[in-house]
A and B are shown apart, each in its own frame.
Chain A
């Protein structure tokens, strides 16, 4: 049966809503009595907070509530919970949230921030990941500036024997590439509106790209179910077994709700505002909205962390890449977030759609005193694509070879393994390149146009 709907240019589900201006984003949700939230952020890149006094802010007319680390039931979150909601002692980046206020309007909120008194002992920061890797560098975190994957300072994945490959190779081509820090720049910034509802429930209107993921994180922070498992009878029936969910209960007490999201691109995959508006809503018993300014978004929100990518290739005269070593250094900023994951993902896929029999990838996740790096479109792959694709052209130049021929020669084919040993069942680099050549008016020789991924015939 021919397809009726799939494959068609169906009009966008929310298209009509967008073009009439009816789409509702979090900032468009208007609830009477909503307080405006602003954050008090660290003025220094690195330091120790010795004391904080919010009493003058709390007593200001028009201020409904102020929160500090003392108001956070569990002040650590993340894929590996290392990031505080609000600074307790150690400041790791300029702009790190230390306190937050909820006030009747923006003017009062800003004035309240000015009345917060902190005593901070400033320390020497480190911004350069290469310096951060040195033994005498300032410590961004107590565990050290390089994330340990087991006993190794890098996430490694390898197949074959690169030393053997380099020995056999006719040419060695080595280069280091750099992919910069980038900001998603979705037109909508981080916005969060937390509303206390009847029966102790909390609704958070969120721009999150991953509501269920964040629900779990928020449950861990807010501990609305308390310390024990939610229901005494469960404790009894399960013999008071240890549960990884202990202390993370209360998912039925928080509801994340979202409508239209004004762009994400990976910038709304981490908690930015929801935890803070939630805490203020609980403290003030009033709806609390926090809309990040564009300045905050550019300076302090999660962003693409920079990558240094060093590629060393062992290449034969006929263009076959027989050995490749990739060392990548990811500047993850101040906390783990998705950054350790990134070092792994990068190592798995940096080689790109090529078959290289001897391949070793080492991914470093390095910490620096900067805002947390995180997902952004092409996460942990775009920088690798950049590095490898320029490297391929460099190899072609060195060998005096057509860069198309070089890629076809090394293209991944059906049945080939990646460095992870995952077998490619449906690759199509060959066909994609053939299609591009046609459109670009590049006439490829017959032997390249006749190749197919399916046949697994190397040229």
Chain B
């Protein structure tokens, strides 16, 4: 079994993986990082979205070894020293969660957008989130939250 070395939320990790292990399995089952969710396991719903070396990926269809030597950020890793990330605050204040299952992936997708485009338009937000399915909210309050967070954003999100 190969050894996978990667950085997750700032921590260096080493795990044993098989060639078929997905990044999602590494995060949830080996590292006990539970915010990325398994919604479909076929890369269609986005509930497993994480940021890999600055790029948003569906971790369920990302072979674990692809993350070798790279950095993964999940929802657990976006609040700097206990302070909520502006996106988290915006999601809370704008009532953008219902069942919460899509929330981790959705916030990561929004963060990936704001990291690249700190002041997106509404169509740009919708496009960036179109790979993250939500059955509860109808997306309206989610999009409003991202707009609110980008308005508060002094520079690119970090």
Contacts and interface: CB of A to CB of B under 8 A. Distances in A.
| Complex A–B touching at CB under 8 A | yes
Interface string A5-38: 0000101101111111101110110100000000
Nearest to B102: A187
Contacts of B92: 11-12, 15-16, 19
B95 A263 contact: no
Interface residues on B, range: 35 or more
Interface stretch (B51-59, B62-70, B72-80, B116-124): B72-80
A232 to B, nearest CB: 45
Nearest to B38: A27
B99 A188 contact: yes
A173 to B, nearest CB: 34
A294 B88 contact: no
Contact of A187 (B91, B95, B134): B134
A260 interface: yes
A294 B39 contact: yes
A184 interface: yes
Nearest to A377: B135
A184 B100 contact: no
Given A12-B95, A21-B74, A188-B37, A30 B101 contact: no
B1 to A, nearest CB: 13
Nearest to A263: B99
A9 B95 CA distance: 9
Contacts, number: 93
B135 to A, nearest CB: 5
Contacts of A386: none
A188 B39 CA distance: 6
Nearest to A294: B40
B89 to A, nearest CB: 8
B34 A260 contact: no
Give the bracket for the number of chain A residues in contact with chain B.
Answer: 20 to 34
A24 B32 CA distance: 12
A263 B104 CA distance: 15
B103 interface: yes
Contacts of B104: 21
From DSSP, what is the main secondary structure of chain B's interface residues?
Answer: loop
Given A18-B103, A23-B100, A184 B95 contact: no
B136 interface: yes
A265 B135 contact: yes
Contacts of B135: 184-187, 263, 265
Interface centre among A9, A19, A188, A189 (most CB of B within 10 A): A19
Contacts of B47: 187
A20 B88 contact: yes
A28 B100 contact: no
A186 B100 CA distance: 11
A260 B99 contact: yes
Contacts of B97: 12, 14-15, 18-19
Interface string B91-134: 11101011111111001000000000000000000000000011
A261 interface: yes
A231 B44 CA distance: 53
B42 interface: yes
B41 interface: yes
Going nearest first, the 10 A-B pairs with the smallest beta carbon separation are A21-B35, A18-B100, A262-B101, A21-B75, A294-B40, A187-B101, A18-B97, A263-B99, A19-B88, A28-B34
18 contacts: A11-B92, A15-B91, A18-B91, A19-B84, A19-B88, A19-B92, A19-B107, A20-B76, A20-B84, A21-B34, A21-B76, A184-B135, A186-B101, A187-B37, A187-B99, A263-B99, A263-B135, A294-B42
